[in-house]
Amino acid sequence: MMQGETRTRLIVFTAPSGAGKTTIVRHLIKEFSALSFSVSATNRPAREHEVDGRDYHFLSTEAFLEKVHNKEFLEWEEVYEGQYYGTLKSEVADILDTGKHVIFDIDVRGATAIKSFYGDQCMVVFIRPPSFTTLVKRLKARATDTDASLERRIARMKEEMTYEDKFDRILINDLLAVALQEAELMVEEFLGIKSVTEEE
């Protein structure tokens, strides 16, 4: 790499459900104009507040599995039975082509796959809740799951917590304001840029 040349990078925020990764990623996108969000694909139905192309690329099961067959995903997973999520190669390539850095909000297995593919070009931050009990309380407070799906999520969360030491950085989300500041510092350090707030 020539002196002064900048290289586009990738930042992944990963965590069990309810740990706050979506809130943190949305904050960072507002703070750093050089970041662009990688929208994941899924075959699950959109929730009431969700918009296709902004929150997820909502696909039919047939369309999703066809893309799997055609190797169009950088990573994908059947997170729950019959429910698929994945990162389209085209989504990441389109962002990198603009010269922006890519930021992801994905699960731990997807984060592992992207880190493996991009290596040092990618930083993965694991967001840790103050306790597992807090995580369960946050999830129940959402009131978006049936009892059965809540049980599945809790079981999955226990497994996801074991990934904590597999990534580049750990961010404890106890007090959100503090976690947001620490996340900003991590991004600034990795990308060598300032936030919009600091530039002002």
Is domain 10-191 classified as CATH 3.40.50.300? yes
pLDDT given at position 86: 97
For residue 5, the model assigns a pLDDT of 39
pTM of the model: 0.85
Note the pLDDT of residue 33.
Answer: 94
Nearest residue to 85 (alpha-carbon basis) of 111, 103, 49, 121: 111
Q: Helices 176-191 and 21-31, interaxial angle, to 10°? A: 50
Cα gap 37→173, rounded to integer Å: 21
Contact call for residues 114 and 104 (beta carbons, < 8 A): yes
Residue 186 has what pLDDT? 97
Chunked mean pLDDT (size 10), the chain, 200 residues = 59 88 95 96 94 96 98 93 95 96 94 95 92 75 71 81 89 93 96 75
Interacting residues of 111 by C-beta distance below 8 A, sequence separation 6+: 12, 14, 104, 124, 126, 163, 167
Q: In what order do the strands lie in the sheet with 73-80?
A: 57-58, 41-42, 83-88, 73-80
What integer pLDDT is reported at residue 2 of this predicted model? 33
What is the sign of the dihedral through the CA atoms of 164, 108, 7 and 179?
negative
